[in-house]
């Protein structure tokens, strides 16, 4: 019998300042409010947000985090389709108060990391055409041209043991998943 593998569909974040966080996620990620209210079981104020017509919510913001409570989120990752979109979201995040921004070339993905206004780590990324074993984290300079970034990534992947074309990696993973 094949394994049942539920897919991650949405996430909830406890926040201190619901209005500020709603504005941040709307302005930076283009998410829209699909519903809001007070939970029937958990009596927190909730804001449901989505950027997809077929998903009622991708993010739920919930009151309940004390102002001095540290975030327990390692990272929330949002995927974009191109380096141009990665640059655009990076600029929007910076304009809306994101802090400690860093770009990393993982070989298999190009990522920008930063903190939202309540110090939750966010990653914006896109997949590359390559695969390399992780962890891998070279600096990523989005001021360079797309061609320069692709060339640097190809050199990075070719220099690492296990580096390969992404299609080959996907095919291998399909075999692993079919056996498990």
Q: Are strands 76-79 and 121-127 parallel, antiparallel or unpaired?
A: parallel
Whether 80 and 126 have beta carbons less than 8 Å apart is answered as yes
Please count the other Cβ atoms lying within 10 Å of the Cβ belonging to residue 92: 15
Domain count, the chain: 2
d(C-alpha 115, C-alpha 113), whole Å: 7
Is residue 180 scored above 80 in pLDDT? no
Q: Which domain holds residue 127?
A: 73-180
On whether both 119 and 178 belong to a single domain, the answer is yes
Question: Average pLDDT for residues 54-83, to the nearest whole number?
Answer: 94
On whether both 103 and 173 belong to a single domain, the answer is yes
Is residue 41 scored above 90 in pLDDT? no
Number of alpha helices (DSSP H) and beta strands (DSSP E) in the chain: 4, 11
On whether both 83 and 99 belong to a single domain, the answer is yes
Is residue 4 scored above 80 in pLDDT? no
Residues 115-173 pLDDT 10s: 999 999 999 999 999 999 999 999 999 999 999 999 999 999 999 999 999 999 999 99
Residues 91-117 pLDDT 10s: 999 999 999 999 999 999 999 999 999
- Angle at which helix 83-95 crosses helix 18-29, to 10 degrees, equals 150
On whether both 113 and 31 belong to a single domain, the answer is no
Cross-strand pairs, 132:
none
pLDDT band at 2 (very low <50, low <70, confident <90, very high): low
d(C-alpha 36, C-alpha 48), whole Å: 6
Question: Average pLDDT for residues 73-77, to the nearest whole number?
Answer: 93
On whether both 95 and 143 belong to a single domain, the answer is yes
On whether both 136 and 83 belong to a single domain, the answer is yes
Phi, psi of 120 (to 5 degrees): -90, 130
Instruction: Return the beta strands (E) in 55-173 as ranges.
Output: 59-63, 76-79, 99-105, 109-115, 121-127, 130-131, 138-139, 164-165
Domain ends where: 66, 84, 114?
Answer: 66
On whether both 97 and 177 belong to a single domain, the answer is yes
In a domain, 2, yes or no: no
pTM metric for this prediction: 0.89
For 2-31, the DSSP string reads PPP-PPP--EEEEES-HHHHHHHHHHHH--
Is residue 1 scored above 90 in pLDDT? no
């Amino acid at each position: 019998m094949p394994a049942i593998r539920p897919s991650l569909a949405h996430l909830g974040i406890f926040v201190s300042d619901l209005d500020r966080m709603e504005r941040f996620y709307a302005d930076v990620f283009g998410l829209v409010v699909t519903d809001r209210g007070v939970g029937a079981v958990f009596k927190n104020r909730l804001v449901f947000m989505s950027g997809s017509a077929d998903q009622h919510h991708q993010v739920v913001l919930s009151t309940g985090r004390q102002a001095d409570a540290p975030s327990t989120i390692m990272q929330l990752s949002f995927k974009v389709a191109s380096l141009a979109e990665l640059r655009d979201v990076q600029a929007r995040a910076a304009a809306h108060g994101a802090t400690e921004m860093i770009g990393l070339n993982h070989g298999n993905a190009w990522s920008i990391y930063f903190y939202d206004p309540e110090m939750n780590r966010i990653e914006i990324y896109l997949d590359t055409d390559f695969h390399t074993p992780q962890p891998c984290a070279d600096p990523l300079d989005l001021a360079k041209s797309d061609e320069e970034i692709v060339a640097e990534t190809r050199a990075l992947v070719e220099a690492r043991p296990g580096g390969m074309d992404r299609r080959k990696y996907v095919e291998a993973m399909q075999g692993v998943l079919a056996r498990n």
